[in-house]
Structures are given as C-alpha cells and as structure tokens.
Chain A
C-alpha cells in the first residue's frame, strides 16, 4: 500500500546556456569597465591607449555575449537592458575581474590571470556543440590572444624589472591568487554544459591554464603562490555573491542609463 504523495511542481529547468552567456558577458563587461578607469591615467601614453584598446575589445565581446543571452532568455531584454538594469546580485562575473585596479602591477597581474583564462576558455568554446557560442568564441579568441601577449609581456617586464616592480607585481599575484579557483569551479551549470559538449570540462581547462601561468610567472622570476593561498570561500561570483566593490562599480557604470532611460546620443 502506498501513501498518497504530493507531486511537487517541477521547477523550471535551469537555463544553462543563458547562465554561460551571462558569465562570459559579465566577466568582460566588468573587466572592461575596470580597465576603462585607467583612461588618462596610465603610466605612459602608449600604455594608456593599449589599456583603453583592451577595454574596448572586452566591451565589444560583452555586447556579443549579452545580446545572445538576451535572445536565449527570450524576455525581450537586449544587451543594454542586461548591462544597465540588473542589480549586483544578478551579475554572474567572477570575483577576480571586479577587484579594484590598485597600482599598475596589480592591474597587469589581474589582467594576465584573466587573459590566460580567456584564451583557454574561448579556444575550447570555439569547438562548442552550440554553433552560436562557437562563433562568438572564435571571434573573441583572436582578441584574447593579443590581450595575453600584452599582459604576459608586462608580467615579464615588471617581474624581471626593477626591485620595486618585482615586489609590486609579486604582491599582486599573492593577493589575486585566491580568486583564481573560482574561474574553474565546475558547478551544476558547468558540469551539465560539459556533458552536452556546449562548454569544456573545467578541471582539464584549469590544468592547461596553470601550465601557461606557471611558465610566464617563472620566466618573470616571480613565485607562484602556494595552493594554501587559495580560498574556498571566494567563489560566489557565478551565483551573484559579489564583493562590495561590484556595487560601487555598477553605480558608476549604470547611473547615466538609469537617470535617462532610452536616451540617445
């Protein structure tokens, strides 16, 4: 004899592809904005232009990924609606990219760790079983390859430069290292996407990433922080649990669009 059971109303299936697109788009929107904060303040004119260039590339990539996210979501939101009218808890970027710029060494270390992640991720995504994601990834990969050349070269120059530049970039690496595991956390979304071949297997990607990072860090005469510097707690970004820095940044990023909705210029 069976007892009557309550059939729970099934939760709507999680839209994994939407989550993936938001993660890709938000990483780039947030980091692009951070880099844009250097505009007019970089150490020299040439680097000012270079950082603004990377910022614009990332903004362009964010536009593509968020536009597609809006299409997949199917609620009529375009990339601007997603960028300007979501709250911090709805952002899916990793914590690494929202960290404030600090000094130039800190910005470069943050950029380098992200750029290597971007190259290995976009390279894998360019073979995604989703044709749309594969196309967007292939387009962004070309830019990411240049970005990592830029930030990697700076890691070498700063690490193997003066005592002061070495000390600063080493300290940045030590400080940022705890944010890197989050880049490769295989949560439910990532695991399901990997099974479907839409997104790559993250643990394998992590190993690839670390090989490249280790090589450049070694050549830059820097020391890779020990794994004990990883923090298991610093990985809330993908589910909307951000550091306080994101809210402040979004206030600046969103104020104009929110003050003048629909304004054209």
Chain B
C-alpha cells in the first residue's frame, strides 16, 4: 500500500488506520436549551482536547438548533457514586417520613408560609 492512499483505497481502511475508536478521551456534554434553564446532561463523545470536544458536541448534540449553550467536561473529572453506595447513600431517607416537608402540618393561623 502506498503512503498516501488514492481515491480508490476504501476510505474505511484509511479511517481505521487514522483513529481507531476509543483512543481519544471521553467527554461528557451538557446542553442548555434556553436562557436561565439548567445545563442538562446530553450524552458523551470522544475528542482529543477541549476545543475539539466542543466542536464535536456542537455537531453531535446541537446541530438541530435547540441549544444555546454547551459545556464539555472530561469524563475523568467526574466523581460518581458507585452502585454499591446506593444503599447507604440513598435509602435512609425512604422510611423517615419526617424528613419530608409533607410530614408537618401547618398550624392553623400561620399565613404566608
């Protein structure tokens, strides 16, 4: 195979030689749909650096015009709870009704609460 494949070389083969999927770091993408709305997690993608990630995010998640702002964050920068944490982290609230505001009756006569 010559150094520079010509047009007859299947582009798929060239592509595989350039950047096998998974070599680039993964980034998480957050999109904002309106002024004042929260940035919400839209998905993830591969990119070489932050600018590249921003461009890929634009093309993958914002190309149909429903986005006004984008954040990209290296996935490695996110610390997540693990499935094993689910019990200790999230269960204790479930059986303690007094942790919820609905548990408390508002005394008669209190206004503007």
Question: Which segment, of B42-50, B86-94, B97-105, faces chain A?
Answer: B42-50
What string of 1s and 0s marks CB contacts (under 8 Å) between A102-138 and chain B? 1110100000000000000000000000000000000
Is the beta-carbon distance between B59 and A153 smaller than 8 angstroms?
Answer: no
With contacts A46-B56, A157-B52 taken as known, whether A102 is within 8 angstroms of B63 at the C-beta atoms is no
Chain A positions within 8 Å of B15 at CB level: 41-44, 104
How far is it, in angstroms, between the C-alpha of A41 and the C-alpha of B12 when the chains are bound?
5
How far is it, in angstroms, between the C-alpha of A171 and the C-alpha of B2 when the chains are bound?
13
Is the beta-carbon distance between A153 and B55 smaller than 8 angstroms?
Answer: yes
User: A44: which of B5, B6, B21 is its contact (CB, 8 Å)?
Assistant: B21
What string of 1s and 0s marks CB contacts (under 8 Å) between A32-68 and chain B? 0000011001111111011001000000000000000
- State the interface size on chain B (CB cutoff 8 A): 27
B109: min CB distance to chain A, Å: 61
How far is it, in angstroms, between the C-alpha of A53 and the C-alpha of B14 when the chains are bound?
21
Using CB atoms, name the residue of chain A closest to B52: A153
- Sort chain A's interface into a size bin: 20 to 34
Q: Is A239 an interface residue (CB 8 A)?
A: no
Q: Is A145 an interface residue (CB 8 A)?
A: no
With contacts A50-B59, A157-B52 taken as known, whether A43 is within 8 angstroms of B4 at the C-beta atoms is no
Using CB atoms, name the residue of chain A closest to B61: A49
With contacts A43-B19, A46-B45, A50-B56 taken as known, whether A104 is within 8 angstroms of B14 at the C-beta atoms is yes
Chain A positions within 8 Å of B18 at CB level: 43, 103-104, 165
Using CB atoms, name the residue of chain A closest to B63: A53
Of B5, B11, B48, B63, most buried by chain A (CB within 10 Å of CB) is: B11
Chain A positions within 8 Å of B21 at CB level: 44-45
User: B55: which of A42, A44, A150, A172 is its contact (CB, 8 Å)?
Assistant: A150
Chain B positions within 8 Å of A150 at CB level: 55
Q: Is B3 an interface residue (CB 8 A)?
A: yes
Is the beta-carbon distance between B4 and A102 smaller than 8 angstroms?
Answer: yes
Of B5, B12, B18, B63, most buried by chain A (CB within 10 Å of CB) is: B18
- Which residues of A from 56 to 112 have beta carbons under 8 Å from B? 100-104, 106
With contacts A43-B18, A150-B55 taken as known, whether A49 is within 8 angstroms of B7 at the C-beta atoms is no
How far is it, in angstroms, between the C-alpha of A103 and the C-alpha of B3 when the chains are bound?
10
Using CB atoms, name the residue of chain A closest to B51: A153
How far is it, in angstroms, between the C-alpha of A153 and the C-alpha of B63 when the chains are bound?
18
Is the beta-carbon distance between A171 and B4 smaller than 8 angstroms?
Answer: yes
Is the beta-carbon distance between A44 and B7 smaller than 8 angstroms?
Answer: no
Query: Can you show 27 pairs from A to B with CB atoms below 8 A apart?
Result: A37-B11, A41-B10, A41-B11, A42-B11, A42-B15, A43-B15, A43-B18, A44-B19, A44-B46, A45-B46, A47-B56, A49-B59, A49-B60, A50-B59, A101-B7, A101-B11, A102-B6, A103-B4, A103-B18, A104-B14, A104-B18, A149-B55, A157-B52, A165-B18, A167-B3, A168-B3, A168-B4
What 8 A-B pairs come out closest when comparing CB atoms? A100-B7, A41-B11, A46-B56, A50-B59, A43-B19, A43-B15, A43-B18, A103-B14
